[in-house]
Chain A
Amino acid sequence: MKWAVLQFPGSCDERDAVRACERSDGEARLHWHEDRDLGDADAVVVPGGFSYGDYLRAGAIARFSPAMEAVAEFAAAGGPVLGICNGFQVLCEADLLPGALLRNESLRFLCRQVELIEVDGPKSQPGVDKSAHRPLSIPVKHGEGRYWAPEEMLDALEANGQVAYRYAPGQNPNGSARDIAGVTNEAGNVLGLMPHPEHAVDPLEGSTDGLRVFERMARLARIPA
């Protein structure tokens, strides 16, 4: 299993993402944003951080990187793409995921552990993706993490099983619509979430629940094209 973790000017969580990918399965490498060739990557991670200093809007500049053109082609061909925090913002700006991330309702930057619920949907595989309904303990670390989409789009996402994670009751840290913490595209191969699974892969971090997110992407990579 080979992971490519993108790196933009201002990314800061790419090295933890590399570590998390390798703890999950296989080898991971950093991929500089100017490089348009993803090589033999089986999955791509767009990491957290502050690409371009969130200039203009978080993710608004990074979405135009050469690497993101390659990611769009990779995703269109069914390749698994995981966007974490700023990565989620980049994927939304690039129209690879629906919706947008707004400023936290509290207007404050938040950095704390939250509980997430994996959402079962029409595409969940029984016994595999279907969650044990134990919340995942994963940290958030963001100032602009409030997920928003028009009501009709939210209805469509829920009907189509595109809501991947929700904040557990009482755990929504930022006012995200319908407690949505992460979504997929229609085909289900692109996943974005605001919490940071790469910071929850070692007992020293207080939780290894983040590995479930990487394992989910690895499973997608194993499905024959």
Chain B
Amino acid sequence: MGALTARTHLLEADYLSIYEARSRCEFKAALVRSARKLEFSIVSTTVFFDHLHGPHESIGVSNTPTDYREAFESTSNGRIDPVMQHCKTSGLPIVWDRSTYVHAGRVAKWEHQAQFGYHCGIALASHLPRGRHLLIGVNRDQPLPRNSTGITRMTASLQLFIAHAEEAAARVLLPKRPDESNAVALTPRELECLRWTMEGKTAWELGQILSIAENTVVRHPYSATRKFDAVNKHQAVLKALRLGIIE
């Protein structure tokens, strides 16, 4: 971390301020400032969080005009928008303009959004472990540069930007999970029993290993189970694993 901070300081301040953002407000300010520097007036970032059962959650920050939001931020928008469709499956950036929508047969959608300043833009997504996806889009009403050097530089800056935003977005945008925010205090014995349970040992085997009575063994995982608000000892092991209490 020491080396990282020292080295990152060499980069421009905007990247550092998104990386270190402590609140939604700071995050948004850094986002808008960086987009303006790239000469895009509208910017949005969304974190998607997949659930294996049930619909995904999404939460975002943007300086999108309110009337645009009312017109487009419905669930059907994502399905008909070719830029969203691209980002859903690909980790590669997409540089888009009217022709993107023409090719997809969605020119009406483009004409509608263009009224709000969404003529062209660059969008990209990071698909991360544990079902997280981060999407960034910058948009404007001015045409994109015609030369590929200009476009490559813009896209590259945005890609570097999203790398800096990954952690911060999860930190400031996603609500803290209740079971993770309050620490669970386990006794050393409870921990030991959970570790052996993780290895697949039964209560009887644990009793042999730890030279304690079987009913004591049953009691330890049981109290750990209660502390974790888990339904059984196996779920207690999983919760302890996820919280990094055991490895």
- Is chain B a partner of chain A in the same complex? no
Residues of chain A touching chain B, judged by Cβ–Cβ distance below 8 Å, are none
Binding site for A on B (CB under 8 A): none
